[in-house]
Structure 1
């Protein structure tokens, strides 16, 4: 297991215990890969991720953008991932119960005070094709060492 993957998983465990919303929405998430500045996770869509129309709720995608942006920063070696200053999400497709999602968090730039991240949420089909469900950008205020 890489240092970056261990770092992301360690930071996630700290966040999970301190954030009931993340624990509720992302309890079964599998963080399976990380390199410096990028990590990947997967999750199967469950009923509590859905809106009243039976498809993936927009607030889920916004929450994942917040979560994954922070963990992308953690993959750069930071223990504290800062506070959000801006989140933007584009909703491009949808998913339903039982669909598998692959989530990529990417730290595009981690500066002295700000970090800029991109998060992509894809639905994976049985033939391993990917459809982008949502793509977000997330800016966080951070304090580096």
Structure 2
């Protein structure tokens, strides 16, 4: 296991233990790869991820944007992933129970006080992947 993946998993363990919403929505997430500034994860859609219409709830995609953007920052060696200053999500398609979602997060820039991230959530299909949501996230951080 590479050092970036170890760092991301260490930060995730700490956050998971202290965040009931992440523990609820992302309990079964698999963080399977990390590089400097990039994190890859996947999760299977469960009934508690759905809205009243039986499709992926928008709050889930917003939560993933927040969570995965923070872990992309952690992959750059930071133990603290900062606090949100701005988050934006575009909802492009949907998913339902049993679908597998691939999450790719990138730390586009990590400065002294701000970090800018982008996150894509796509549904695995027989033909490849269908983009479900794209998010951008800005976080206030403190670097040493």
Q: Describe the SS at the equivalent of 1:108.
A: strand
Tell me which residue corresponds to 1:138: 137
**How big is the shift at 1:135?**
0.2
Partners in 2 of 1:69 and 1:28 — Cα distance? Answer: 18
Q: Describe the SS at the equivalent of 1:24.
A: helix
- Normalization by structure 1: what TM-score? 0.98
Partners in 1 of 2:11 and 2:111 — Cα distance? Answer: 19
- Normalization by structure 2: what TM-score? 0.99
Deviation >2 Å, runs of 4+: none
Tell me which residue corresponds to 1:59: 59
The number of aligned residues is 144
Partners in 1 of 2:120 and 2:14 — Cα distance? Answer: 23
5+ unaligned residues in a row in structure 2: which ranges? none
**How big is the shift at 1:128?**
5.5
Q: Mapping of 1:30-109 within 5 angstroms?
A: 30-109=30-109
